[in-house]
Amino acid sequence: MKRRFSYLLLAFMAVFVSASLNSCTDDPVPLPTGSIKVKFDNVVGSQDLKLNAETYANASKENFTVSRLNYYISNIKFIASNGNNFTVPQDSSYFLIREGNVDSQQITINNVPAGNYTGIEFVIGIDSLRSVSDISKRKGILDQTSGPTNEEGMYWNWNPGYIFFMLEGDSDSATSSNGKFYYHIGGFGGLTLKTLNNIRVTKIDFGAQRATVSKNAASQINLKADILKMFNGPTKVSIKENSSVMFTPYSKNIADNYVSMFSLDQIIIK
């Protein structure tokens, strides 16, 4: 009886050791990752955008200069050729692009799974969930009391919410007393009551180009943001007729225009 018990014990131990070894060797091997840089080049048609310097013209043949251009980019997703798309973790997916700050115009996304990516998708603005989350969840670039959001006035305290897109400048066509125009576009749909929802999602296909990520290669995606599209989209925006647009129904037209202002320039593999 003792001998039989010893055999059973030895057999059990052998099975346990084998299972333990297999569980160790079957651990998934971490997939290689890399980084992608995304650069935003703000332009006006075929011209580079220069603040307080160059004079441009929109489709209404109104001349204007630009003194400020800011916009939020969030909820970034890279579209993969094999269908394994990569969504950037939300806490790491909020950026404020400012024409007046060169460093803000290039963002780096780390820990991107290796592969070939055929497109990019992102929100222009701040999604409703983050907009209504506790202030402790809105630090860094989303901090409304300090940093760029506060410095650039990208938050409405009187009507709580982020300004998704801000364009300001001067024009002889402006009907304001100081000759300036202001486009401050926001609105996430409201917390308790339904309000304006100007959250827009843009998707850019890379065509024949690919953003390649591996441990030995990283890609830089150069995008162009053409602000003429804000004026010359589905709705022709006239500075004379609409010199100041903020939290009003007309802001929807501007949001519907600027969602198409982004396009691929080129992809650089490094």
Question: Token pair of 37, please?
Answer: 């840089």
The arithmetic mean of pLDDT across residues 185-190, rounded, is 94
Is it the case that residue 25 has pLDDT exceeding 90?
A: no
pLDDT reported for residue 192: 80
Least confident of 5-14, 179-188, 243-252: 5-14
Please indicate, yes or no, if residue 110 is contained in any of the structural domains: yes
Q: CA-CA distance, 156 to 144, in Å (whole number)?
A: 9
What is the average pLDDT score of the chain?
91
Please indicate, yes or no, if residue 6 is contained in any of the structural domains: no
Please indicate, yes or no, if residue 125 is contained in any of the structural domains: yes
Please indicate, yes or no, if residue 17 is contained in any of the structural domains: no
pLDDT reported for residue 28: 63
List, for residues 76-126, the tens digit of each pLDDT value.
Answer: 999 999 999 999 999 999 999 999 999 999 999 999 999 999 999 999 999
The arithmetic mean of pLDDT across residues 241-257, rounded, is 97
pLDDT reported for residue 26: 56
Q: CA-CA distance, 197 to 217, in Å (whole number)?
A: 39
Is it the case that residue 8 has pLDDT exceeding 90?
A: no
| 10 confidence band (pLDDT: 50, 70, 90) | very low
Give the total number of structural domains in the chain.
Answer: 1
Please indicate, yes or no, if residue 84 is contained in any of the structural domains: yes
pLDDT reported for residue 149: 97
pLDDT reported for residue 29: 63
Please indicate, yes or no, if residue 40 is contained in any of the structural domains: yes
Q: How many degrees, rounded to 5, is the angle at CA 128 between CA 124 and CA 131?
A: 95
pLDDT reported for residue 216: 87
Please indicate, yes or no, if residue 5 is contained in any of the structural domains: no
pLDDT reported for residue 78: 98
* pTM for the full predicted model: 0.88
Q: CA-CA distance, 202 to 76, in Å (whole number)?
A: 10
Where does the chain have alpha helices with state H?
2-25, 128-131, 147-151, 228-231, 251-258
- Report the run of H or E that residue 14 belongs to, with start and end: helix 2-25
More confident residue, 160 or 252: 252
Range of the domain at 217: 33-269
Please indicate, yes or no, if residue 21 is contained in any of the structural domains: no
